[in-house]
């Protein structure tokens, strides 16, 4: 069918829009992907028009059938926006009017693009947030699988990127899993605030036609209706909050990615990348590069830009709606698309890492990482920790002079530094003793690492159940 332009405004204008205005005003191509969410809102609004007697039963049935067919055609790719369609609302109304005649034009009564646009993005984010959480769970699962293989594998723990104390590699992997778990929780917490329907707010003052917005809200899976019509169309804090949660998730992914880059380096030699999740060099045949990790690290900056750009657009806006708010879709949709690309790639990278446990064990005590064990041993025998710290520092200094590691110093050298350093101190100067001693809740001892893994099973079930329980429109 031949496309014709159907502007949703213009009756009071004497001249056509300048092409420069039309180009600036037209939605970006990706924004038309909101079509299924816009049509979901149109179904709910059509029922509102029936309650207002603007549509009779036969007309409602025809409108709903037309919406369903248009939804199916759009998803199948058999109908697409015209270059003249200003936005998704114009596109869909044009096609419905072409197909239904004047009946298609009735659907606009009692609503505005202002509440439609606000509703579309809320529905999009609430739907896509489930996909983001499930993809995050996929990365957590990969970390848990590796951690389960390395509950007893010693590795050096770092502060300031300097060897600090031995930990288990499983414990380090789980630290990243816990951060990602909080990201998943943060998105779910966001959703409780975002589950408010703006439909019925119309342009800004509320609708004289759609008088039962709570019914439309229920149909679309919302928990309630926005309590103020001005706020309903003007607020984008829920979008900013989502982009913050997305940015925080990206930052946590980036921190994991940075560690993978270190672990895979020849200087660390902790892991080898699977060929399926690595790239090579166009000039150096020997290279195996952690490009997935590097790309993920770089994408974090992109998501931070989405957040700051949106906050910049919001900061000076008067109530109610202003076209500046069109920036919300770029920030939200790009953040979602980026995360749904990065998360599965990172999950595959982590799941397929080949860990060199022997190399990690050999490095676990390098750099005098057992020094704290000696200081603690003295403190547990009544030596003030200030003194224990100084005594142990002297032992480390003597080992450096002799070119040996802490467990290799002789009994005589220990006694010469302090008579309280008896041979029994050697019982704590092993990596396994160090790990076992950290047995408090949340510690790195193998028993506590296994405990963390077991507890994660419940968290994973909860995240998946939250995603599955969503009753709103899904794409």
Residue ending a domain, choose from 76, 109, 142: 109
Same domain, 340 and 382: no
Is position 150 annotated as part of the catalytic site?
no
Q: Is 157 contained in some domain? A: no
Same domain, 130 and 250: yes
Give me the CATH number covering residue 57: 1.10.275.10
* pLDDT score of 4: 47
pLDDT digits (tens, 9 = 90+) for 81-111: 999 899 999 999 999 999 999 999 999 999 9
Q: Is 207 contained in some domain? A: no
How many domains are there within the chain?
A: 3
Same domain, 139 and 97: no
Same domain, 310 and 421: no
Same domain, 242 and 389: no
Same domain, 345 and 459: yes
Same domain, 459 and 345: yes
**Catalytic entry in 25, 265, 281, 427:** 281
Q: Is 264 contained in some domain? A: yes
Same domain, 243 and 263: yes
Domain that holds residue 31: 19-109
Residues in the chain with pLDDT values less than 70: 1-11
Q: Is 349 contained in some domain? A: yes
pTM of the model: 0.93
Q: Is 322 contained in some domain? A: yes
Q: Contact at 8 Å (CB) between 3 and 81?
A: no
Same domain, 136 and 251: yes
Q: Is 297 contained in some domain? A: yes
* pLDDT score of 7: 65
Same domain, 291 and 417: no
Same domain, 255 and 384: no
Is position 281 annotated as part of the catalytic site?
yes
Q: Is 459 contained in some domain? A: yes
Give me the CATH number covering residue 406: 1.10.40.30
Same domain, 83 and 231: no
Q: Is 41 contained in some domain? A: yes
């Amino acid at each position: 069918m031949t496309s014709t332009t159907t502007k949703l405004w213009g009756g009071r204008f004497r001249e056509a829009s300048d092409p420069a205005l039309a180009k600036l005003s037209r939605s970006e191509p990706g924004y038309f992907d909101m079509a299924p969410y816009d049509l979901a809102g149109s179904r709910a609004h059509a029922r509102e028009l029936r309650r207002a007697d603007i549509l009779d039963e036969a007309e409602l049935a025809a409108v709903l059938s037309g919406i369903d067919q248009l939804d199916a055609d759009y998803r199948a790719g058999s109908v697409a926006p015209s270059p003249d369609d200003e936005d998704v609302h114009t596109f869909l109304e044009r096609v419905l009017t072409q197909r239904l005649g004047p009946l298609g034009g009735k659907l606009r009564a009692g609503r505005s693009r202002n509440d439609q646009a606000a509703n579309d993005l809320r529905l999009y984010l609430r739907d896509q947030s489930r996909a983001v959480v499930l993809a995050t769970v996929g990365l957590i699962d990969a970390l848990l699988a590796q951690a389960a293989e390395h509950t007893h594998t010693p590795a050096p723990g770092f502060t300031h990127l300097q060897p600090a104390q031995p930990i288990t590699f499983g414990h380090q992997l789980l630290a990243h899993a816990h951060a990602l778990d909080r990201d998943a929780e943060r998105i779910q917490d966001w959703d409780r605030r975002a589950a408010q329907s703006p439909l019925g707010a119309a342009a800004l003052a509320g609708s004289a036609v759609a008088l039962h917005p709570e019914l439309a809200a229920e149909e679309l899976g919302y928990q309630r209706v926005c309590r103020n019509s001005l706020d309903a169309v003007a607020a984008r804090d829920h979008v900013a909050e989502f982009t913050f949660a997305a940015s925080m998730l990206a930052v946590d992914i980036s921190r994991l990615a940075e560690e993978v880059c270190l672990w895979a380096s020849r200087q660390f030699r902790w892991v080898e990348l699977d060929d399926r999740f690595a790239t090579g060099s166009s000039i150096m045949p020997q290279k195996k590069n952690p490009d997935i990790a590097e790309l993920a690290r770089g994408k974090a900056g992109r998501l931070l830009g989405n957040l700051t750009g949106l906050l910049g657009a919001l900061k000076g806006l008067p109530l109610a709606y202003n076209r500046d708010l069109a920036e919300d879709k770029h920030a939200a949709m790009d953040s979602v698309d980026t995360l749904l690309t990065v998360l599965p790639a990172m999950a595959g990278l982590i799941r397929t890492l080949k860990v060199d446990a022997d190399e990690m064990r050999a490095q676990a005590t390098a750099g005098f990482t057992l020094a704290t064990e000696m200081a603690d041993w003295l403190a547990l025998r009544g030596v003030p920790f200030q003194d224990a710290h100084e005594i142990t520092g002297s032992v480390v200094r003597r080992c450096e002079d002799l070119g040996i590691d802490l467990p290799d110093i002789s009994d005589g050298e220990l006694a010469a530094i302090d008579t309280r350093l008896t041979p029994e101190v050697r019982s704590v100067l092993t990596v396994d003793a160090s790990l076992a001693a950290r047995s408090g809740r949340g510690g790195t001892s193998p028993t506590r690492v296994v405990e963390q893994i077991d507890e994660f099973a419940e968290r994973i079930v909860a995240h998946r159940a939250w995603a599955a329980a969503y009753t709103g429109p899904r794409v």
